Amino acid sequence: MGALVWTVYVLRCKTGELYTGCTTDLERRVREHNSGAGSKFTRSRLPVDVVYTEELRGRSEALRRERAIKAMRRSEKLLLVGHPALATSA
């Protein structure tokens, strides 16, 4: 039996803000966010769209990567998710 694949994800909220998290089931987690049950942060910023994902082999690796992304400046996150034009104006 193989290890669970963890996905680190970045969501863009309706307000343009970015939210980073990790899960073993991305589709379920995005549904939870968009139903208002995902997190307090996204609850008042619906709807959300996935703008970046990264698959990792274990929970601890995923949590380390999530923490690293959360520590980035907004401009760095925008470059990571592929929005370089917004990064220069942010």
| CATH number of the domain encompassing residue 70 | 3.40.1440.10
Query: CB-based burial of residue 69 (10 Å sphere; 0-12 exposed, 13-18 middle, 19+ buried)?
Result: buried
Can you give the residue range of the structural domain that contains 52?
6-89
pLDDT digits (tens, 9 = 90+) for 48-88: 999 999 999 999 999 999 999 999 999 999 999 987 665 55
Query: 69 and 8 in contact (C-beta within 8 Å)?
Result: yes
0.95 cut: is pTM over it? no
Q: What is the pLDDT of residues 3-32, one digit of tens each?
A: 789 999 999 999 999 999 999 999 999 999
Yes or no: say if 20 and 64 are a contact pair by the CB < 8 Å rule.
Answer: no
Is 32 within a domain? yes
Residue 1 falls within a domain, yes or no?
no
CA–CA gap between residue 67 and residue 53 (Å, rounded): 14
Give the DSSP letter of residue 3.
P
Residue 41 inside a domain? The answer is yes
